Amino acid sequence: MNLLFINFIQYFFDILYTILNVYMWIIIIKALLSWVSPDPYNPIVRFINDITEPVLNKVRIILPLGNALAFDLSPIIVIIAIWIIIILLKFIEFNYIVPFMIS
């Protein structure tokens, strides 16, 4: 394969890893902020809520265990899903992209 195309794919995977890791850390920050109840009008808190709530609400709708347990499990489920996506992407990269780079 063309070396330029392979490098593009590798950089694409690196960008995906970075985006997923940053999003995972934003969800962790959101979970930690929920313990201290920060000012909802703070722009940073609003940004974190705007980015995380659509995904967390989808998980809350699918798995409404948080209401019964009085503990929100949606951040944990989203983080596990991000880990699974990263593992799948690494599997695809190392089994289908790297062999082309070696040969």
- The band of 95, judged by pLDDT with boundaries at 50, 70 and 90, is confident
What is the rounded average pLDDT of the residues 68-86?
89
Question: Taking the model in full, what pTM does it have?
Answer: 0.85
Distance CA 61, CA 40 (A): 23
Question: Whole-number mean pLDDT of the chain?
Answer: 88
Provide the Cα torsion 72, 52, 34, 39; round to 10°. Answer: -150
Which amino acid, residue 4? Answer: L
pLDDT at res. 101? 67
> With contact defined as beta carbons under 8 Å apart, do 56 and 75 qualify?
yes
The 10s digit of each residue's pLDDT in 4-52 is 887 888 899 999 999 999 999 999 999 999 889 889 899 999 999 999 9
Tokens standing for residue 24: 């995972």
Q: Is the pLDDT of residue 53 over 70?
A: yes
Total domains, the chain: 1
Please give the residue range of the domain that contains residue 25. Answer: 3-102
